[in-house]
Amino acid sequence: MPVNLTAPDPASLLPVAGLRLGIASAGIKKPGRRDITLIELAAGTQVAGVFTQNRFCAAPVTLCRQHLTQGNIRALVINTGNANAGTGEEGLARARRTCEAVAQLMGCAAENVLPFSTGVILEPLPVDKILSALPAAQADLASNHWSEAAHAIMTTDIVAKGASRQVSVGGRTVTVTGIAKGSGMIHPNMATMLGYVATDAAIAPALMQQLVKEVADVSFNCVTVDGDTSTNDSFILIATGQAGNAEIADATGADYAALKAALSEVAIKLAQAMARDGEGATKFMTIAVEDGRDRAECKQIAYAIARSPLVKTAFFASDPNLGRILAAIGYAGVADLDVNALQVYLGDVLVAENGGRAASYTEAQGAAVMQEAEITVRVVLNRGSVNATVWTCDFSFDYVKINAEYRT
């Protein structure tokens, strides 16, 4: 079951002026399943995105990248149950047909539509089912359908993921609301995740790509479930510009910092929810690497620990077999790392120092921490002043079961 995670109260997901969402059922994988989400954007909305680094990227990712270069995005369409990945030119053609159908309904060009898919790879997109469901999705458009959309984009997720915040920017109240899906095949860059965070703030188009990357780097690019980078990962930032604030045009100003903080807070909550809802998860783990020379080496070590099957299975068993953490630190690939200079903590318990087991450490201390549902591993490198944090979960029997039975 998800670790200390519940679906957000629908009333807590605040409408964002200039954006409406509609949900419908296409029955792509299961009859009656609400699996189509349509998002309508007001004219003048700014959109930016970051996507999977998997070279076998899905057809909708390819189209999104193309369409974003042309600007003037007016609609997003999302389907679950089929990833439209590993589908070649036919997959691109089917994704284009979807965009064309949405454009006809919404009164815009096909290039003004961003398509997204998630689900099984290497199967043809059932485009006719999607096209049949689009009119119902359009008829369902409403500003307060964030919760419905959060449920509609789920695949193996158990809990819908959404969050909202409000912040003062330029003397105006600005709203930030986001939803995401992701539970397995999660690892940057990015992860099987779809994330959509919208704000009604006005921000200069030239700053949007910088902002979405900065937000992704402290949130969705800091989470791993199983070390597998998906073909479909997409994180989209939407700014409708309808809050009434003066357009943010300076990335060094206070308004940019305030907006970035609110966006990051929502994105971090969504990213952590993915690890809490990791397939079969029973433990939520924070891996904090401190006092490194640079962020890259800190994340390198953090990810080596977070994606280690041996570490993750030990945590599932509540077994303080902590030599597995030391091994992961050692093979992380930081060539000049002085293992005699670092300390390793499990929760608040000092486990290792001076190249080996801490003199004060007892097995009973480790066993007590391992019983907790949320556990922090701290690695203090003592070779600089830079820190990085990664979130992950354990590997349970259910992880194997879920993925063994994924297509059944």
Phi, psi (rounded to 5 degrees) for 179: -135, 160
Q: Count Cα neighbours of 283 within 13 Å in the Cβ-side half-sphere.
A: 24
Nearest to 80 by CA among 13, 10, 30: 30
H helix or E strand, kind and range, residue 301? helix 295-306
Q: Do 129 and 28 meet the contact criterion of CB atoms below 8 Å apart?
A: yes
DSSP-derived secondary structure for 344-366: EEETTEEEEETTEE-TT--HHHH
Indicate if 224 belongs to the active site. no
Residue of 192, 229, 240, 286 with catalytic role: 192
Instruction: Assess contact for 185 and 192: CB atoms under 8 A.
Output: yes
Distance, CA of 133 to chain centre: 26
Could you tell me if 189 and 228 are in contact, meaning their C-beta atoms sit under 8 angstroms apart? no
Could you give the CA distance from residue 313 to residue 35 in angstroms, rounded to a whole number?
A: 33
| Integer CA distances (angstroms), 184 to 120, 154, 395, 403, in order | 12, 11, 11, 9
Q: Say how far apart CA 299 and CA 81 lie, in whole Å.
A: 32
Distance CA 371, CA 377 (A): 14
150's tokens: 């959060």
Q: With H, G, I as helix, E, B as strand and everything else as coil, classify residue 159.
A: coil
Q: Looking at the annotation, which residues are catalytic?
A: 192
